[in-house]
Amino acid sequence: MKRNYYAEAIEVISQEQDWRAMIVEIAKTNPSVIANCSVVTSVTRKIQVCYDNKGKIDAIKLHRQLTGSSLKDAKEAVEAACQ
């Protein structure tokens, strides 16, 4: 089963109070992750806007289009991002 790392990261960061320190630790171990953060943020914002304007199904379709993820992973990511 393919893990949805984006959804997991969003969930962890939204629950983590000291998220800046966590990001610094991630950057120390894998600098390329930080380079991808702006892409993740951009996708998340697009998904949230789509969810607000068009609804959950269209947001899931957009997520799949932008990321190439499976239907299940897209649904979980949209639900995590738009709660």
pLDDT at 57: 94
Sketch the domain layout of the chain as residue ranges: 5-81
The CA radius of gyration of the chain, in Å to the nearest whole number, is 13
pLDDT at 27: 67
pLDDT at 67: 82
| 46-56 confidence digits (pLDDT tens) | 888 899 999 99
pLDDT at 71: 92
Report how far Cα 3 is from the mean position of its chain's Cα atoms: 12
pLDDT at 54: 93
Q: Which of these, 78, 14, 68, 21, lies nearest to 45 by C-alpha position?
A: 78
pLDDT at 83: 78
Query: Full-prediction pTM beyond 0.75?
Result: no
